[in-house]
Amino acid sequence: MLTRIVADRVYDYSHVVGGRQITGMLTLTLGQDDDVFVLLRRPQNSNITKITIGQTPGDEEILTQFGTRGAGGGEFMWPAGVAVDSDENVYVTDEWLHRVSVFDKDGAFLRMFGGPGSGPGQFNRPSGIAIDDNDDLYVSDTLNHRVQKLDKFGNPSIAFGQRGDGDGELNAPWGLTVDSCGCVYVADHKNHRIQKFDADGEFVFRLGELGDGEMQFDHPTDVAVDPEGDIYVCDWVNNRVQAYDADANYITTFSGDAQELSKWQHEYVLSNPDVYKARRRVYSLEPEWRFALPMAVKFDPVKSRLLVVDPQRWRIQIYNKLDNYDDPQFNI
Amino acid sequence: MSSDLAMIAHLMRRAGFGASREELERRLAVGYEETVEDLLHPEWQEPVDIYEFLRYHHLQWKPGTLGGIGQVSWVWRMINTNAPLQEKMCLFWHQIFATGVSKVDHYDEITDMIDMFREKGMGKYRDLLLAVAKNPAMLFWLDNNENHATAVNENWGRELLELFSMGVSNYTEDDVRECSRAFTGWTMTPKLPRFHMGRWDWYFEYREDDHDHGDKTFLGETGDFNGEDIIDIILKQPATARFVARHLYNFFVADEVQVPAWPVTPPGDPESVDFLANALMETDYDIRAVLRMLFNSDFFKAAQFRKVKNPTEVVISTLRMAGDAELPTPDIYAWANHITYMGQELLNPPSVEGWHSGVEWINSGALMKRTNFVADMVNETDRPGIRRLIERAQAESTTPEALVDACLDLMGPLQFNESTRAELVAHAVQNGVCGGNGKSNAESAREIAELLQLIVSTREYMFA
C-alpha cells in the first residue's frame, strides 16, 4: 500500500530520487529547503554530492560535488557520516582517517579535527554524526564504543558509553540523531538495538533485540526522530525501516514502495532499448519497489517527510507524514 | 622440533590456511584426531559476520564486474574464518565446478555458488551435484538455459560427465546427448537488468514445457529420465568415485598430473586413491566422512611438503600468520589482487577446467609475486603475528645457527634441505644475526625479519 493509516498517523509514499549518479551512496543529511548532502563512498572516489530533491518526481538536480580520495585536507578515505550546522557548514566523519572534516555549504574545505586514539577528542573509526540546535556535535566513536559530544571546532565536552551490552553500554554505535529536547538516539549496531540518552549522556531507554519481528532488529544502522517523537529505525539486514512512538511502542514497518522509477532511472531505461526490454520480460517488478540493505533514515521536520537511503538501489525513497489527510469513502 | 607439532602444522596447512605457533600449540594439546574432528565441524565455530565486512565495503553486496574485485568478501572470510576447512572446501569445489565472471558477468551469482559450497561442501556429493545443476551461475556458464527440448545444447551435459563426475573415457558421445536431453528445461528466471538500480538475483526454474520427456538410454539404463535420475545413475559408477577421489587426493594430499592427463596417466599413489574411492562408495559419497578418513590416514601424514601452495594459500596463510588483518581495511583489494597476480583470479578461473595446479603455479613472474608478497609481509614487524614470531626467535636462540633453526621451526616447522639451511646460517653468521647479541631490540628484530624474508624466498617455502 502506498498510503498507510496506522495508530492515528498517515504515511503516504511520495517518490524516489536516485540513479547511477549517486552510486556508492551511504548516507545523507538535510540541507536548507529541498537540498540534501549525499555521502558517496566508493573504492576509488568518494565525495559529498549536494542535490536538490524537490517536492515531486522530476525536481531533482545535482548542485555540486566536493571532496576526493586522499588523506590531505578536504579529502576522504572512508567517509562515513555527514551533518550540517546552522550555517550550513558540512561535517564529514572519516572512519579510516579517524577524523572529522568541515566544509562550507559550497564545498570549500574549512578545517579538520580528531585523529586516531581513545582520548577525548580522538576517534577510532568514527561514523555517525548529528548536530543539535546549539551546533554541538555528537559523533559515534564506533570502535571506542562511545558517543562523543564536541563543539564545532572539535573540542570535546562529554562522552558516554563503553563496550558492552548493558543499559547505556554500546557495541559499535553507528547512526545517531538528536531530538528537539536534546536527547540522543543511537543505533547500537552490534547490539541490534536503539538506545536513548538525555543531553547529559544519561541512559533513558533501549529498544529492540536481535531478530526479524516487531521490536527486533538485525544490525541497525541509523535512527531518526520526528517532531512528534516518533522513532524511525533503519533495520539494515532486515531490509526495512520500523517506526515506533516516543514510548517505544511499535507503529509500522516500511519495506520500500518505489513502484515508479526515479527521473534518472527512467531516463536511463528509456535510452537503452535492451534494458527497457529486459525489464519488461521479468515475471514481476515488485523486487524493484523494496529496500535492499537500507543504510540511513532521516526525517525532514520542515516538510514532514521521511527519507530512506536505499544505497544498493542508488536511491532515496521518500514518505510524507500527513496531518491533513481525508480518507476516501471505502465503497468508492 | 616436535614431530607431533609438525604433523598438526601439516594438517592445518592442508585442511586450512596454516596456523600461528600459538594455535598449533593449542591444537597439539587437544590432539591430532580431535583437531581433525574440529575442522570437520564448522557448525561448532562462531561464524564470520559478513555484515562486519559489508559495513565498511557496502558496494561489495552485489559488486560490479568492471573492477575485477568482486572476490574481496570471500578473501576476507578466508582470512577471518574460525572454520578454515569449510573455506578450503569452497576453494576445492570452486576449482572443480569452475565458474567464472568472465562469462557470467555477475560476481554475486558466483559468490552465491561459493555460499552453496560453504553450506553443502562437506555433505553428500549427490546434494552438492544437484545444487550445482540448479545453480544459475552454472546454468548460464554452461549454457543450459539454451538447452531446449527441441534444440539440445550439450555443454552442461558434457562437462557434468567429463569434469564434474566421471572423467573422459568412461562414457560415450551418445551418453552425453542423452544426459543433456534429461536436463532440458533446467533454466533460470529472467533477471532484472543491472544498469538502472543495481544487480538482482537469478533463480532456478524448471520449465516442464521445455523438457524432453522421451525415453533416454544413459550408461546402459533406459527411461524417461530427468536430471536427478541422471545424477543418481552417475553416482552408481565406480568411475565417479575414482574421479572425485583423485581430486581429493590432488587437492589435499599430493600434486597429481593435470586433470586432462588423468585418462592416460594413472595416479601417483593408486592405492590411496582407491582407498578414497571405496570410502566414497561405502559412505554414499559422504564427503565429511571421507575427509575424516583422508586426514587420519597414513598416506596423508606421510605427504608433508608434497604440494605446491596455490596462490590463495600463499596470501591467506601469510595474512593469518601476520595478523592485524581482521578488521576490514582498504588493503583487502590489494590482497585479493595479489592472489590474481600469482595466477589464481578467484571467481574467474581460466576455463571450466579450473586452474592447473602443482608446479604449474610456478613461473618466473608468479614466483616473484609470491616471494615479494610474503617477504613484504614478514617485514612488517609491527604486525602482531610477526612480532610474536620475532620475540620467540629472539628468546630461543643465542647463536646464528640456533636462530636459523628457531625461525625454520616457528615458520612451520619447515623442512629445509641442508644446503639451503647452510646458506641461511652463513648469512646469519656473516651478519652476526642472533637473538642475544647485545644489539638493540629494534635492530635485532630488523635482522630477524631479514632472515625471515630469506626463508620465504626459498624453493622449500613454496611447498605446503
pLDDT in tens, A254-279: 999 999 999 999 999 999 999 999 99
Confidence band, pLDDT 50/70/90 cuts, at residue B440: confident
Q: Which residue in A17, A174, A288, A291 has the most chain B C-beta atoms within 10 A of its own C-beta, making it the best mutation to test that interface?
A: A288
Q: A268, B196: Cβ pair inside 8 Å? A: yes
Q: A265, B56: Cβ pair inside 8 Å? A: no
From chain A, the residues in CB contact with B62 under 8 A are 312
From chain B, the residues in CB contact with A96 under 8 A are 329-330
Q: Is the peptide bond before B270 cis (omega within 30 degrees of 0)?
A: no
Could you give the CA distance from residue B97 to residue B172 in angstroms, rounded to a whole number? 21
Could you give the CA distance from residue A165 to residue A171 in angstroms, rounded to a whole number? 7
Q: Residue A273 in contact with residue A199, Cβ under 8 Å?
A: no
Distance from CA of B329 to the nearest CA of A (A): 8
Q: Which three cell numbers stand for residue B106?
A: 555477475
Residues of A with CB under 8 A from a CB of B: 18-20, 23-24, 26, 41-43, 77-78, 95-96, 174, 189, 219, 221, 236-237, 261, 265, 268-269, 272, 274-275, 278-279, 281-283, 285, 287-288, 292-293, 295, 311-315
Closest CB to B197 among A77, A237, A288: A288
Report the C-alpha dihedral over residues A311, A316, A320, A321, rounded to 10 degrees: 30
Residue type (1 letter), B456: V
Could you give the CA distance from residue B247 to residue B242 in angstroms, rounded to a whole number? 9
Closest residue in chain A to residue B334, using alpha carbons only: A43
Residue pointed to by grid coordinates 590411496: B272
From chain B, the residues in CB contact with A237 under 8 A are 51
Tell me the pairing of strands A184-188 and A193-197. Answer: antiparallel
Q: Is B221 exposed, middle or buried (0-12, 13-18, 19+ CB in 10 A)?
A: middle
pLDDT per residue as tens digits for the range A140-171 = 999 999 999 999 999 999 999 999 999 999 99
B46: contact with A, CB 8 A cutoff? no
Q: A18, B195: Cβ pair inside 8 Å? A: no
B359: contact with A, CB 8 A cutoff? no
Closest residue in chain B to residue A80, using alpha carbons only: B56
From chain B, the residues in CB contact with A171 under 8 A are none
From chain B, the residues in CB contact with A285 under 8 A are 192
Does residue B438 have a pLDDT over 70? no
Tell me the pairing of strands B186-188 and B204-206. Answer: antiparallel
> What's the pTM value of the predicted model, to 2 decimals?
0.96
Tell me the pairing of strands A126-131 and A137-141. Answer: antiparallel
When the pLDDT of each residue in chain B is averaged and rounded to a whole number, the result is 95
Q: A19, B197: Cβ pair inside 8 Å? A: yes
Closest CB to A77 among B67, B192, B330: B330
Closest CB to A275 among B51, B196, B200: B196
pLDDT per residue as tens digits for the range B143-153 = 999 999 999 99
Q: What is the pLDDT of residue B435?
A: 59
Report the C-alpha dihedral over residues B5, B10, B13, B16, rounded to 10 degrees: -80
Closest residue in chain A to residue B188, using alpha carbons only: A282
Q: A313, B195: Cβ pair inside 8 Å? A: no
From chain A, the residues in CB contact with B61 under 8 A are 292-293, 312
Distance from CA of B103 to the nearest CA of A (A): 18
**CA gyration radius for chain B?**
24
Q: What is the pLDDT of residue B36?
A: 98
Confidence band, pLDDT 50/70/90 cuts, at residue B106: very high
Does residue B3 have a pLDDT over 90? no
B329: contact with A, CB 8 A cutoff? yes
3-class SS string, chain B: CCHHHHHHHHHHHHHCCCCCHHHHHHHHHHCHHHHHHHHHCHHHCCCCCHHHHHCCCHHHCCCCCCCCCCCHHHHHHHHHCCCHHHHHHHHHHHHHCCCCHHHHCCHHHHHHHHHHHHHHCCCEHHHHHHHHHCCHHHHHHCCHHHCECCECCCHHHHHHHHCCCCCCCCCCHHHHHHHHHHCCCEEECCCCCCCCCCCCCCCEEECHHHCCCCCEEECCEEECCCHHHHHHHHHCCHHHHHHHHHHHHHHHCCCCCCHHHCCCCCCCCHHHHHHHHHHHHHCCCEHHHHHHHHHHCHHHHCCCCCCECCHHHHHHHHHHHHCCCCCCCCHHHHHHHHHHHCCCCCCCCCCCCCCCCHHHHCCHHHHHHHHHHHHHHHCCCCCHHHHHHHHHHHHCCCCHHHHHHHHHHHCCCCCCCHHHHHHHHHHHHHCCCCCCCCCCHHHHHHHHHHHHHHHHCCCHHHEC
Percentage with pLDDT > 90 across chain B: 92
Q: B192, A278: Cβ pair inside 8 Å? A: yes
Does residue B432 have a pLDDT over 90? no
From chain B, the residues in CB contact with A282 under 8 A are 189-192
B177: contact with A, CB 8 A cutoff? no
Q: B198, A77: Cβ pair inside 8 Å? A: no
Q: A64-73, B296-305, B321-330, B439-448 — which is least confidently predicted?
A: B439-448
The helix-helix angle for B311-322 and B364-378 (nearest 10°) equals 10
Q: Which of residues 58-97 of B touch A (CB under 8 A)?
A: 58-59, 61-62, 67, 69
Q: What is the pLDDT of residue B66?
A: 79
Q: What is the pLDDT of residue B441?
A: 81
Confidence band, pLDDT 50/70/90 cuts, at residue B203: very high
From chain B, the residues in CB contact with A293 under 8 A are 54, 58, 61
pLDDT in single tens digits along all 332 residues of chain A: 999 999 999 999 999 999 999 999 999 999 999 999 999 999 888 999 999 998 888 899 999 999 999 999 999 999 999 999 999 999 999 999 999 999 999 999 999 999 999 999 999 999 999 999 999 999 999 999 999 999 999 999 999 999 999 999 999 999 999 999 999 999 999 999 999 999 999 999 999 999 999 999 999 999 999 999 999 999 999 999 999 999 999 999 999 999 999 999 999 999 999 999 999 999 999 999 999 999 999 999 999 999 999 999 999 999 999 999 999 998 99
Could you give the CA distance from residue B97 to residue B135 in angstroms, rounded to a whole number? 11
From chain A, the residues in CB contact with B326 under 8 A are none
Nearest Cα neighbor of B197 from A55, A178, A75, A256 is: A256
From chain A, the residues in CB contact with B59 under 8 A are 23-24, 41-43
Q: Residue B377 in contact with residue B383, Cβ under 8 Å?
A: yes
Closest CB to B62 among A189, A237, A312: A312
Residue pointed to by grid coordinates 595474512: B319
Nearest Cα neighbor of A126 from A110, A136, A111, A115 is: A115
Q: Which long-range contacts (CB under 8 A, 24 or more apart) does B75-78 make?
A: B75/B315, B75/B316, B75/B332, B75/B335, B75/B336, B75/B339, B75/B346, B76/B48, B76/B328, B76/B332, B77/B48, B77/B50, B77/B53, B78/B17, B78/B312, B78/B316
Q: B198, A261: Cβ pair inside 8 Å? A: no
Does residue B316 have a pLDDT over 70? yes
Could you give the CA distance from residue A113 to residue B226 in angstroms, rounded to a whole number? 66
Q: A272, B190: Cβ pair inside 8 Å? A: no
B192: contact with A, CB 8 A cutoff? yes
Q: Residue A241 in contact with residue A308, Cβ under 8 Å?
A: yes
Could you give the CA distance from residue B52 to residue B42 in angstroms, rounded to a whole number? 19
Nearest Cα neighbor of B27 from B55, B56, B47, B5 is: B5
Closest CB to A237 among B51, B192, B197: B51
